[in-house]
Structure 1
Amino acid sequence: MSMAYADEGQWQPHQLPQLKAELKRVGIVLPAEKLADLTKAPLSAMLSLGGCSASFVSDAGLVVTNHHCAYGAIQRNSSAQKNYISDGFLAKTMSEELPAGSDSRMYITDKVDNVTAQVLQGISPTMTGKDRHAMVENKIKALITECEQDKAYRCSIPSFHRGMEYYRIRQLMIRDVRLVYAPSDKIGNFGGEVDNFEWPRHTGDFSFLRAYVGKDGRPADPSPDNIPYKSKDFLTISALGLKNGDPILLAGYPGRTSRYKLPEEIRFARDVSYPKRIAESQSDVEVINAATQGNPDAVVRYASVVKGINNGLKKTQGLVDGFNRKDIAAIKDEQDAEFRSWFSKNNPDKDFLKELDTVIASDMALTEEEFAWSVANNSELLRSARTLYRLALETAKPDAQREAGFQQRDVAFIAARLNRLEQSYMQNVDQARYTAALQRYNKLDAKTHPQGLDILLPMPESVASMYQQSELGNTAKRLAWLKQDAAAFLQSDDAFIKLAIKLHDIGMTLEERRKEVNGNLERVIPQYMQAVITWKNSQGKPVYADANSTLRVTYGTVAPYSPKDGVTKGPFTTVEGIVEKHTGKEPFIAPDNLLTAIKEKRYGVFKDATLGTVPVDFLSSADTTGGNSGSAVLNKNGELIGLNFDSTYESITKDWYFDSAITRAIHVDIRYMLWVMKEVDHADNVLKEMSVKYPIK
């Protein structure tokens, strides 16, 4: 269980008026009603990048986000000869802006409706899990189809409280995204993986993109004829600074949290699931590094892939370390016992808690098989072949009956993912990854192997010949399969298509079993969550839903923390710390012009009066998680003062349990961003485009 206290809570916008007293306590001046309004700033200026958060900062579609959120776009436009990762990129005019990639999207939430009644209508408690799940999915697909009559919008219906509530979210989907400006990774990723999730931090994790639309102002496919999106609202930037104890707001699209999961689920993650994921990620990165060594082009091609794996790896390792440092399962045991005692006194259904435990156990068991399946499929060509064959099978059905993810609305996304391999695939690297993955799969506990899979998989020593017998590495030929029917696949001699067809039934069996388990979870967990909410409300405590990649608002204060006895950290770092960390060796190489600007103290209006220099990063007590990368950090008036980009290592377990004493989010200070733009990269055109409040000197 999780209760809302201190600065905990990732709140849905419509909940904010209930938090007036809390917002006032922290010092937020912006009225809660305005803050909750999706049609007005600041929330109307927030957007999702489909994995990261961002915000509009001009009326011409200029968007600010993290450097690591735009890393894929930077990498796709880079080569060993023209390396924007290490050199940075700045478009001095709009005509110089570069395409972010065929799969790059911006999503602007403009409408949220509670559709719980429509989704759950007709659901019977006697249904099998699979039948229940199918009925819910069909209702969701119909409601999405209704919402997407206007093709400018992308709609989704995620569940809240694990199936207790459903909200239909309508988002304007921008399909033409371009890279405007990104500093060198010597600024944007200063400290690299060594500093990831660490404090003190000196990373300028920011970059700028732009949204483009057709001449009619509506979303359009990428085209030279497109024009910048006219953003109705955008954030004003405040360079006036902030200090320890100041209130902040943070708005974005947090990914996933697990605050309401049971103690046994924590133990499963801590002792079984996470250690396996860590070992798998470490092995995969080692294989990629070995396969790309000595080949600068390969290193650039796989830079984004490796960065993504490493980020997830360090977070997962941090979760395990956090679980070992503080026994969160034991804390949850106490809360769970308290809840079960209350439940037994107030509910006649004494068998419900046993049913809850049984359903949770079946979920964990299936998760182990799904992990083994993922290891056995760790090849870009195999994943592409499986996706293409599944699409061919689904296309033969009426659109409403096709599996979610393979409907007509999804084809463009599938095509974009397949096209993206053009910039992030090399045969020798993928071959090495798949060979090693099969070897690792063979070493997993046989009890976790999906039934019937072992005999169908190739031997590791035969993988090389498969790549010789496949044309899926060729982008044009790979994309051509999008137009083929299932019969064409059955006649193909392509080694990976033949393997995809052989594995299809195993994958479908796993998928059907997952639907049964999920259907049972969707029946039982909402009852559990309703009981938890009733219990919490009886104590006068509001309850927020776990993060699920939807727009949320959190709040807090600029605050230091004590990771261990006798040590206090934060809340600000400064540019002098960059000079101290600079070694001239990766990952602590700072650009010469940045070092010169620091040594010459060219701080101008960005100098903090208290610190006597330019702040780089700062800490706050805001409640964040993955997906909040790039989230706007606002002052009490709703003005942009920074970007969220990380958490301290001690905070990583907040996905499961929020500890207000040590949970801290890490933000890049807007003053450092502006200073780099002015003094280091001379991004004057971008600076002029934004509305910035400068201090009077």
Structure 2
Amino acid sequence: MLRLVVLLIVAVLPFNSGAREGMWLPMLIDDFNIGEMQEMGFKLSAADVYTVNAASMKDAVVRFGNGCTGGVISAEGLIITNNHCANSAIQKLSSIENDYLTAGFWASSREEELPNEGLTVSILRSMKDVTALVLSGVNDSIRESARQRIIASNIDSISNNAVKDLHYQAVVEPFYSGNRYYLFVYEVFKDIRLVGAPPAGIGDFGGESDNWMWPRHTGDFALFRIYADESNRAADFSPTNVPYKPAHHFPVSLEGVEEGDFAMVLGFPAKTSQYVPSYHVSMLADLVYPKMIELRDAKLDIMDRHIVQDQKIRLQYAAKHSAVANSFKRWKGEIRGLKMLGGVDMKQQYEAGFNTWLNSDSMRIVSYGNILSEYSKLYKALSKYRLAHDYMLELIGYTGIETLKFAGSFERLATLVDAEEVDEDAVEMEKLHLREQAEKHFKDFSRAIDMEICISMFEMMEMDLPQEFRPSFLSIIKNQYKGDYSSFVKALFDNTLFDKHNDVSKFIDKFDKRKVKELKADPAFAIYTDMRNIYYKDINTRYIRINSRIDSLNRVYINALMEYDKERHFYPDANSTLRLSYGEVMGYEPSDGIVYSYFTTLDGVIEKEDPDNYDYRVPEKLKELYHAGDFGQYGMGGTVPVCFVSTNHTTGGNSGSPVLNDRGELIGLNFDRAWDGIMSDMIFNPHLSRNISVDMRYVLFIIDKYAGSAYLFDEMTIVGD
């Protein structure tokens, strides 16, 4: 019945483009959203959210690292983000003796705050429509390649001029598939120090078992501080730096939430695909995602078997495991959601109406061509390359076979050393870089895990990839090793230098022209090169070429959609730029007979406790506070609220986003989406799409009662009860 109701609604509103759907540009909410926001209860103005010449909420939203969001919560540069966003930084600071991932960390003073090399925080200073400047010199008669060259040149000029003689960074991003362009100017802070993080039993409670799920009981937060120079400007790390003084910081509300309350999210969502055709959805749901799920399932099974047996490996592979598991579960949820809602059928119904409109006017056909027919041809051609592309990245990319990926990182050094005129400075810089890479690699490396993953991936590659995309070493396994993948991989690891730190260090020190031949003969480097050559020669070139044609067609398609669906406000797809989404605090009914409340409490943490399951271990002190009823001013009805759900449209990159009430006060911190509506990157459904946030009352409770760090409240603005 639920699916029927959803399909009936979608038949009327193909993309559910109500006020609660969308990731909107803050600069434009005065034109499109502020009226509806205020009707829903928002008590402030558009200028309170975004303005350039005065302090506004945009000044308190930060891009944390390269893929998360955070919020400024004090006049002393204190920022809050998700614990899982800080996971990698905390892991780098951890050791067996000081396992901050497991035990947590709390600085008792500014002097104890821990620097994080390489971690940055970016704050948007301004944004501007530069479409006319970017498209200067572009017309419909030129080739796509010429168009892109002109646009790239214009963007370089615009970006450079925007920050000339300034300490800012500028980037120009395309919107609506390249129909519009906006300039973003950021201040990028490089001195970021860890202030506090709860133990895994709070900050990662539920672990991968609960990832993407509701109800949830995770205290997913961590605290950092931005440091600046004496002029309050971004600067490299220095002991003389001082806490940053923000133009605005979010007040923190103790009032909490009730169902129906207005909720607003500000953040840097990474990527959505709301306007892709049905062919795109079908390619992912029916072909690509199922194979990627199989690959990651195999990786996770191997990691899990080792992690439960060895504390050292658990620490080493914490971030890697999370990276693999996150998309694994998301892909499964997206397939489930799309199938349940009939996502491809929904898209096709909308496209049928569009096609009827298009073909009813000969001038439209002249202007737009036969768009859907062209999409059909292109996606048919793309599918096998997309599968092979993603497959290869799963093997030698970020979450791939570590030894092969590490061996491949020596390719640039070989090129530099083997040049006719050797740049000695560049060679030494590359050697320094590789030494640093080696330290990081071997610090968190298990030979046993990597060997097992290697065996599994090679076996699956033989079964899944067409012959034209299979690397030559698979034939060696078949013919010389009689299909014995284990023996082949054992020989590989026994004979490569890239799984031994000392050997690698010596190799780097002595690397010269004579060593190039030795590098190329190394089995790990040879296999990496074999796979890399196939990727770039046989897969990626065609993949990029077909995608380029699809990108060009997308630009035409979105223009046509805007003419076809004139009453609709089209929000741009996410692209890691600052966005606003708004909705209500609200539970949901995922299926017949199941009703989910809008909030969870500390009672649920205690109920879920399982000392034999790492995901559900509860710190002793938290249990003591619970049984003593020591909840302070953060309690509600004899317990403490932990998490809540709302109807805000979010995606990856929104992790750590501040969730604000009708007065712009911080009520929660976004950290996930509910599995039942996870297909919202392609199809948003108001009945099922829910974002999950940790309640700020739980955050304050942990900081005060658990960590004993209430001194931080002195610099914060806490409002309410």
Same-fold call, TM cutoff 0.5: yes
Matched, 1:8 2:25: no
Please state how far the C-alpha of 1:589 moved relative to its aligned partner: 2.1
Counterpart selection for 1:369 from 381, 388, 399: 388
Deviation at 1:416, TM superposition (A): 8.0
Distance 2:307 2:78 in 1: 35
Partner of 1:470: 497
Q: Which region of structure 1 is more displaced relative to structure 2, 195-204 or 554-563?
A: 195-204
Aligned CA distance change for structure 1 residues 658 and 444 (closer, same or farther; 3 Å): same
Q: Match for 2:578 among 548, 551, 555?
A: 551
Q: 1:233 to 1:686 in 2, by over 3 A?
A: same
Instruction: Answer whether contact 1:213 1:219 (CA < 8 A) is retained.
Output: yes
Q: Alignment partner for residue 626 of structure 2, among 591, 598, 610?
A: 598
Q: 617, 635, 648: which one pairs with 2:674?
A: 648
1:64: how far off?
Answer: 0.1
| Distance in 2 between residues matched to 1:23 and 1:124, nearest whole Å | 38
Single out whichever of 230-239 and 445-454 deviates more from structure 2.
445-454
Of 64, 83, 87, 1:67 maps to 83
- Contact kept, 8 Å, 1:470 with 1:494, in 2: the verdict is no
Identity score, percent: 27
1:141 offset after TM fit, Å? 4.6
Q: SS at the partner of 1:294?
A: coil
Q: 1:161 to 1:490 in 2, by over 3 A?
A: farther
How far apart, CA to CA, are the structure 2 residues paired with 1:159 and 1:413? 33
SS for the counterpart of 2:586 is: coil
- 1:256–1:655 contact (8 Å) kept in structure 2: yes
Which whole-Å CA distance do the structure 2 matches of 1:466 and 1:208 have between them? 44
In 2, the alpha carbon distance for the partners of 1:288 and 1:615 equals 34
Distance 1:235 1:661, change over 3 A: same
Mapped pair 1:348 → 2:365 = yes
* Alpha-carbon distance between aligned partners in 2 of 1:442 and 1:152, rounded to the nearest angstrom: 51
Does the CA-based 8 Å contact 1:322-1:652 persist in structure 2? yes
Q: CA deviation at 1:482?
A: 12
Residue in 2 aligned with 1:402? Answer: none
Give the counterpart letter for 1:657 in structure 2.
I
* C-alpha separation in 2, matches of 1:231 and 1:2: 38
- Alpha-carbon distance in 1 for matches of 2:571, 2:232: 36
Confirm or deny: 8 A CA contact 1:305 1:424 kept in the other structure: no
Q: 1:269 and 1:676 mapped to 2: Cα distance? A: 41
Q: Secondary structure in 2 aligned to 1:157?
A: strand
SS of corresponding position for 1:162: helix
Q: Equivalent of 1:93, from 109, 113, 116?
A: 109
Q: In 2, are the aligned partners of 1:369 and 1:450 still within 8 Å (CA)?
A: no
**Alpha-carbon shift at residue 227 of structure 1 (Å):** 3.2
Q: What do the CA deviations read for 1:236-293 (whole angstroms, capped 9, x no partner)?
A: 1111222111111110011221211111211111111111111111111122234555
**Alpha-carbon distance between aligned partners in 1 of 2:143 and 2:282, rounded to the nearest angstrom:** 28
TM-score normalised to the size of structure 2? 0.85
- Residues 613 and 525 (structure 1 numbering): CA distance in 2 closer, same or farther, change over 3 Å? same
State how far apart, in whole Å, the 2-side matches of 1:635 and 1:532 are. 34
Question: Which stretch has the larger CA shift, 227-236 or 490-499?
Answer: 490-499
Aligned length: 679
Say if 1:22 and 1:119 are closer, same or farther in 2 by CA, change over 3 A.
Answer: same
Task: Please name the residue that 2:67 is paired with.
Answer: 51
- 1:658 aligned residue (663, 684, 689): 684
Asked if structure 1 preserves the Cα contact closer than 8 Å seen for 2:389 and 2:540, the reply is no
Aligned positions of 1:137-176 closer than 5 A: 137-147=152-162, 149=164, 152-176=167-191
Report the Cα distance in structure 1 between the residues aligned to 2:585 and 2:22, rounded to whole angstroms. 16
Q: CA deviation at 1:382?
A: 3.0
Tell me what 1:533 maps to: 562
- Amino acid paired to 2:80: V
Shift of 1:415: 9.6
> What TM-score results when the alignment is normalised by the length of structure 1?
0.88
Structure-to-structure mapping, 1:313-392, within 5 angstroms: 313-346=328-361, 347-349=364-366, 350-377=369-396, 378-389=400-411
Partner residue in 2 for 1:433: 453
Contact 1:241 1:641 survives alignment (8 Å): yes
**Structure 1, unaligned runs of 5 or more:** 398-405
1:515 to 544, 549, 556: 544
* 2:257 aligned residue: 242
1:619 offset after TM fit, Å?
Answer: 1.3
User: Larger deviation: 424-433 or 200-209?
Assistant: 424-433
Task: Tell me if the contact between 1:452 and 1:506 (Cα under 8 Å) persists in the aligned partners.
Answer: no
Cα distance, 1:221 vs structure 2: 3.5
Residue identity matched to 1:107: S
Aligned to 1:205: 220
1:22 aligned onto 2:42: no
Matched with 1:401 is none
Question: What residue in structure 1 maps to residue 695 of structure 2?
Answer: 669
SS in 2 for 1:348: helix
- Listed one character per residue, the Cα deviations across residues 339-365 of structure 1 (whole Å, up to 9, x for unaligned) are 221222241334343223333333333
In structure 1, how many angstroms separate the alpha carbons of the residues matched to 2:219 and 2:466? 46
- Measured in 2, the distance between the counterparts of 1:663 and 1:504 equals 39
Contact 2:660 2:666 in 1 (8 A): yes
Corresponding residue to 1:619 among 619, 633, 645: 645
Distance 1:506 1:138 in 2: 31
Quick one: distance in 2 between partners of 1:141 and 1:475?
A: 44
1:583 equivalenced with 2:610 (yes/no):
yes
Contact kept, 8 Å, 1:44 with 1:109, in 2: the verdict is yes
Opposite residue 94 of structure 1, the aligned amino acid is: R
CA deviation vs aligned residue, 1:409-429 (integer Å, no higher than 9, x gap): x99999987764354333443
Residue 51 of structure 1 and its aligned partner are, at CA, apart by 1.1
Correspondence list, 1:449-464, <5 A: 449=469, 460=485, 461-464=487-490
Instruction: Specify the alignment match of 2:601 in structure 1.
Output: 574
When residues 428 and 126 of structure 1 are mapped into structure 2, their CA distance, relative to the original with a 3 A threshold, is farther
C-alpha RMSD of matched pairs (Å): 3.4
Structure 1 pair 632–133 and aligned structure 2 pair: CA distance change class (3 A): same
Q: In 1, Cα distance between the equivalents of 2:297 and 2:157? A: 42
- State the shift of 1:456 in Å: 9.6
Give 1:627 deviation, angstroms. 1.3
| Distance in 2 of aligned mates of 1:469 and 1:368 | 29
Aligned residues of 1:388 and 1:482 also touching (Cα < 8 A): no
Higher Cα Rg, which structure? 2
The 1:195/1:503 distance shift into structure 2, 3 A limit, reads closer
Moved more, 562-571 or 384-393: 384-393
Which deviates more from structure 2 when the two are superposed, residues 67-76 or residues 432-441?
Answer: 432-441
**Which whole-Å CA distance do the structure 2 matches of 1:315 and 1:413 have between them?**
34
Aligned equivalent of 1:35: 49
Corresponding position of 2:322: 307
Q: Whole-Å Cα distance in 1 between the matches of residues 144 and 457 of structure 2?
A: 33
Give the Cα–Cα distance (whole angstroms) in 2 for the partners of residues 143 and 457 of structure 1.
Answer: 53
Distance 1:143 1:396 in 2: 38
**Greater mean alpha carbon deviation, residues 676-685 or residues 288-297:** 288-297
Measured in 1, the distance between the counterparts of 2:128 and 2:476 equals: 46
Question: How far off is 1:452 after superposition?
Answer: 7.2
Q: CA deviation at 1:685?
A: 2.6
Q: Deviations over 1:423-458 (max 9, x none)?
A: 433344334333332222122132572687867999
Equivalent pair of 1:3/1:543 in contact (CA under 8 Å): no
Q: Check the 8 A contact 2:202/2:619 in 1, yes or no.
A: yes
8 A contact 1:418–1:479 mirrored in 2: no
Deviation at 1:43, TM superposition (A): 1.2
How far has the Cα of 1:208 moved from its partner? 0.6
Q: Residue 657 of structure 2: which of 631, 636, 645 is its match?
A: 631
Q: Secondary structure at the match of 1:181?
A: strand
